[in-house]
Amino acid sequence: ESQGVMTVTITFDETKKYFHLQNESVSYVIALEEEKYVSHQYWGKRLNSFSQVADYPRQDNAFAPNPFEVPGRVFSLATLPQEFPGNGSGDFRESAFECLYPDQTTVSLLTYKSHEIVTGKQPLQGLPHTYETKEEPAETLLLTMEDTVTKVEVVLSYTLFRDYPVLTRSASFRNNGAEDIHLNKALSMSIDFPDADFDMIQLPGAWGRERQIVRTPLVRGIHTLDSKRGTTSHAYQPFVALADKTATEDQGAVYGFHFVYSGEFRANVEVDTYAQTRVQMGINPTHFQWHLPVGEAFQTPEVVLVYSENGLNGLSQTLHPFYQKHLIRGQHQLAERPVLINNWEGTYFDFTAEKIEAMADEASTLGIELFVLDDGWFGKRDDDYSSLGDWHVHTAKLPSGLKQLAENIKAKGMLFGLWFEPEMISEDSELFRAHPDWCIHTLGREKSLSRSQYVIDFSRKEVRDNILAQMMAILDDVPVDYIKWDYNRNMTEIGTAAPGALPGEVLHKYMLGLYEVMEALVAKYPQILFESCSGGGGRFDPGILYYMPQTWTSDNTDAVARLEIQYGTSLVMPISSMGSHVSAIPNHQTHRKASMKMRGDVAMAGNLGYELDVTTLSEAEKQEMKEQISFYKEHRKLVQYGVFHRILSPFETQNEAAWIFVSPEQDEALYFYYRVLDRANLKKKKVLFKGLDSAKYYTVSGYEGVIGGDELMNRGLYLKDALQGDFQSVCLVLKEAQSV
């Protein structure tokens, strides 16, 4: 390899029986203890070589059983750090899987069978997945384990990417036995750390306050983050991290785990008797059971494992470009996102074609590039009690049709976007009256309503085909450039009316069906920019990003609330995926009145949009909006695809937030500082910068002369003006200058 080009190598040492996966930044080591037990040895900063194989402490531990084939009392699965632990064979910690055999037993013991090291990465059929590119390749270890009694085979897949401290893991189960079995649990990965000296970081939330950063010391026991809601949900992000107790935004080791799936998940972090830590992630077993006939296989979704030696910013600065280049696809993958206006908070259901055109007229003069028509254009939908499932134009509301409206908007020089909620069905709909069994429900039980709607049964092909045909009829007729795809309830009474279906298979088959529909649409309409939404950020996960390059971050558009929401989201999601809008005041969720400047400065730290009735604004507000849009267009590539550094956490300061976007060449940057509430008699605020080149000099907007990057990062600057009043923000533009 030429100087400076990273390599990725996966090797197997035949003598010492271990695998070493390494690139320039990270190593991952797996050993075969007693030549057959697949044991985790190391994951972290790159090691040139590995010598201390199979050195885990072997001792006669009380109440630790010994496998029947290993003589003596010192080797036990109860203490062995494992890669994919089985069930009921002497490891009392959480298992990674559970097979139900024909005799109703569930004991399984996996041992090494074979392995293969392959160049590249195979796609996961029917599932979202990361992929390699010619410019940024990867290598894969396929490690086959077997239960020698039942002949169940599990292939563990490990892909290491050359240019990132990132490993992806998944598992495939194959039934090579003589009888059908059932999988009661099939997680995607499991890993054991030798100690528990970590903080656990998670991103819990709720509707309107998604992805809050919660950091707690690890303690003894099993900590479970999960969803039993049919979707990843607002309640938890399918993410967990272990961080050194001293790790900060910019230093210290952090180990992150992120599940590439949009259905129910489980993440376990377990600290055992000996202060060892087991982390597991995969499909939640609660509503899962899979029939596995002889000769067939089941593939789990994958988990992204990321290691950072540079704290939480290091983790984010790995995940952002990794997801942009190895998960998001299509012609919008690395494209600048258009500035949009959405009519939802401006009109809700109460609009006419004339009203929409009047909003579009005004918006086009301000520089907005995309008009999005939200809920209420279809069926006879004038409120949220009807018409989901009837994807044809509401002619009483739009008598000239949708095509005419779209063409009129496009004639103003804007793109046209449309809202859909394809996975839902209203009780009051033509589709439900024709097919009352087409929703997710358990036969013989009453059905719970939520937002007066049911979830449509995407586990059934005839249902998927019907919805696809309805959507394609609209998209083939109307010139649509953008779709906001919503999902506005969680699942209850999970079941299906499909004949012969196993209840435990419904949810995963639903997810496979959803992905199939999304794949069909993105393949047929590559020009459409898809934005996913679930009451805002209720399904903002890596699985969705594979089909839809951006997500509506939260229904809560209040600038102050958004500081926490966007700060937390940025931990794992690229800025290019975060929809962020300026809305009317008082805010519709919190009733707060923040200035147009503060609202703009928060929304510009994502994909800028507006969600208000622009025809009701004053001339001064419209002028400010016009200037915001013009400024954003000038800097949006930097915001959406630059290197993002978090500086001040609103979770820690309670009253401030700050972050900076830096170009890859470190020749320009955009710094934002926000303060929520004012206090009397404060001195001027001094701010520090991050991510600059300490050897370069910069001009800073509003300041005289040039200032060294080292000075800006280490000494900082006093803000020019004392910020007066509540809800204040400052935006500074930095540009590289010739030296003083």
How far is residue 492's CA from residue 507's CA, in Å, rounded to a whole number?
Answer: 11
Mapping DSSP to helix (H, G, I), strand (E, B) and coil, where does residue 432 land? helix
Within 8 A by CB and 6+ apart from 231, the residues are 262, 263, 264, 487, 490, 491, 534, 538, 539
Q: Is 350 a catalytic residue?
A: no
What's the rounded Cα separation, in Å, for the pair 160 and 21? Answer: 7
Catalytic position from the list 147, 272, 374, 555 = 555
CA-CA-CA-CA dihedral for 728, 731, 732, 735, to nearest 10: 180
Residue 344 Cα distances to 51, 279, 507, angstroms: 62, 41, 31
Length of the chain: 740
DSSP 3-state assignment of 262? coil
Q: Is 323 exposed, middle or buried (0-12, 13-18, 19+ CB in 10 A)?
A: buried
Closest by Cα among 552, 738, 733 to 660: 733
Phi, psi of 404 (to 5 degrees): -60, -45
Q: What stretch of H or E contains 118?
A: strand 111-119
Peptide bond between residue 65 and the one before it cis (omega within 30 degrees of 0): no
Quote the Cα angle for 303-305-308, to 5°: 160
Cα separation, 171 vs 186, in Å, equals: 8
Under 8 Å CB-to-CB from 48, ≥6 apart: which residues? none
Q: What's the first-to-final CA gap in the chain, in angstroms?
A: 40
Strand partners, 240: 257
**Residue among 486, 541, 558, 613 flagged as catalytic:** 486
What the block records as the tokens of 72 is: 């003596």
Burial class for 156, CB neighbours closer than 10 Å (0-12, 13-18, 19+)? buried
Number of other residues whose CB lies within 10 A of the CB of residue 411: 10
User: Within a 10 A sphere around the Cβ of 245, how many other Cβ atoms?
Assistant: 11
Q: Per residue, what are the HEC states of 271-324?
A: ECCCCCEEEEEEECHHHCCEEECCCCEEECCCEEEEEECEHHHHHHHHHHHHHH
Respond yes or no: is residue 710 known to be catalytic.
Answer: no
703 token code pair: 């300041």
Residues 6+ apart with CB under 8 A from 688: 647, 712, 713, 714, 716
**Contacting residues for 248 by C-beta, under 8 A, at least 6 apart:** 311, 312
Q: How far apart are CA 589 and CA 488, in angstroms?
A: 17
| Residues catalogued as catalytic | 486, 555
